[in-house]
Amino acid sequence: MVAKLHKVDEKLVVLYSFDSIFGGGRSTGFGLIYDSEEALKKFEPKYRKIRAGLDTKKTRSRKQWKDLKRKLKRTWGTGRREAARAAKKAAAS
> Residue 8: its pLDDT value, please?
92
Is residue 31 helix, strand or coil?
strand
CA distance 14 to 51: 10
As a whole number, the mean pLDDT across the chain is 89
User: Domain boundaries in the chain?
Assistant: 2-52, 62-92
Per CATH, domain 2-52 is 3.60.15.10? no
Question: What's the pLDDT band for 39 if we cut at 50, 70, 90?
Answer: very high
CA distance 13 to 60: 30
Is the model's pLDDT at 75 over the cut of 80? no
Is the model's pLDDT at 57 over the cut of 80? yes
